[in-house]
Structure 1
């Protein structure tokens, strides 16, 4: 079981469903949410500040990321994450990109980011998490 997961999506129902399914499957102890990429970057900024003071601080090892969001979309978030060198600080964090439509070009682009391990269609399901469990 993972200690923390972050779900990033602009749809409140999708975030609630993500949290409920993860809790029901006992996939993580804590589920944090962000409504867009900007909130997620703020989350990692706060974590980075705390992490420099406490190297034992836990951080999400898995982030479910929607692509189509207002304010800062998934692509902008991934670029910002890399620019801030968070992949160096949070080495074990892996991303699964979620989308309601699977565009082959989006899949190729997502997998070009070193921290993205998969691209799945929404919504997160119990079956999906059961398949992912052994990898985490």
Structure 2
């Protein structure tokens, strides 16, 4: 079981569903949420600039692609930059409402993306991920 995951999505229902499904499946002890990429980067900046070693760091990120303010692709561009090198080994699961072949191809350019799944998140999906990332 993971200690903490980060779910980045602009839809409050998706965030609530993520928390419920993760909780019921014993996939992670804690789900932290962000409503867009900018909020998620802020979360990592707080971790980066505070010396509190007791603060948990996300061990997995669920990422939506289409969000206002900062979308998933822009988040990934920032997150995989040297500015976030201490975090950018965190595996990312793209959770999207559409499976556009161009998005699937683009996802392959980011080594931290370990899978591209269709919303909504489900318990069987989490069971699949447990096997895939050896939990």
TM-score by length of 2: 0.92
Aligned position for 2:3: 3
Q: Which blocks of at least 5 consecutive residues in structure 1 are unaligned?
A: none
- Among 59, 79, 82, the residue aligned to 2:80: 82
- 2:90 is equivalent to residue 93 of structure 1: yes
Distance 1:37 1:84 in 2: 17
Other structure's SS at 1:42 match = helix
Aligned length: 133
Distance in 1 separating the partners of 2:41 and 2:16: 20
1:41-96 superposed Cα distances (whole Å, 9 cap, x missing partner): 1011111113xx2556431110000000000000010011122532x302541000
1:65 maps onto 2:52 in alignment: no
After superposing on structure 2, the runs of 4+ consecutive aligned residues of structure 1 that deviate more than 6 Å are none
d(CA) in 1 for partners of 2:52, 2:13 = 34
Indicate the RMSD between aligned Cα atoms, in angstroms.
1.5
5 Å matches for 1:1-136?
1-50=1-50, 53-54=51-52, 57-86=55-84, 88-90=85-87, 92-134=89-131, 135=133, 136=135
- In the alignment, the residues of structure 2 paired with residue 9 and residue 91 of structure 1 have an alpha-carbon distance, to the nearest angstrom, of 19
- Is there any run of 5+ residues in structure 2 with no aligned partner, and where? none
